[in-house]
Amino acid sequence: MKVAVVSSCLLGEFCRYDGKTKEDNRVKEFLKDYKVIPFCPEAPLFGIPRERIDIIQGRVITSQTKKDVTKLIEEWTKKFIQTLPKKVDIIILKSKSPSCGLSSTPIWNENKEKVLRYGDGIAAGVFKQYFKDVLMVDENSLNT
Ligand code: SF4
């Protein structure tokens, strides 16, 4: 059976910072013949609900307490990747997220007044290092 790693909030888990989900029925329908492995670094690291996080000049910073949590997310994602089967067929990640976004996450300037560019979330960046040959999409670019 084909294997998909998928952002948990797209699957209907209530794991977003505000305790909500981003369930996506199109993604779920696409996955009906896949073995699905859910992925969410933020909920186990920071709990639900939790502070928002943002990418400020390439670092992930908590919005109120201003902690740099970049390394935590990177390390958690690397450990998660070690638990995956050898063959992964597709990775589907949530757009715009500071962790999961693929080329769609706002990268802010120092005071969060201006978006400098749109890039990858921190976990998505780690996935790209490890899965160079695996199809990686977000829910908006998934061709069903
Ligand atoms: S976007 Fe990623 S980190 Fe955020 S709730 Fe969804 S799965 Fe978790």
Q: For 74-133, how does the pLDDT look when each residue is reduced to its tens digit (9 = 90+)?
A: 999 999 999 999 999 999 999 999 999 999 999 999 999 999 999 999 999 999 999 999
For tokens 């050898």, what's the residue?
86
Contact status, residue 9 vs residue 40, Cβ threshold 8 Å: yes
Distance CA 123, CA 73 (A): 7
Q: What's residue 143's pLDDT?
A: 82
φ, ψ for residue 120, nearest 5 deg: -90, 150
pTM: 0.96
| Contact 105 CB / ligand 1 (< 6 Å) | no
Best residue among 69, 94, 102 to mutate for probing ligand 1, ranked by most atoms within 8 Å of CB:
94
Distance CA 12, CA 9 (A): 5
Q: Which ligand 1 atom lies nearest to the CA of residue 100?
A: 2
φ, ψ for residue 118, nearest 5 deg: -115, 135
Distance CA 40, CA 13 (A): 10
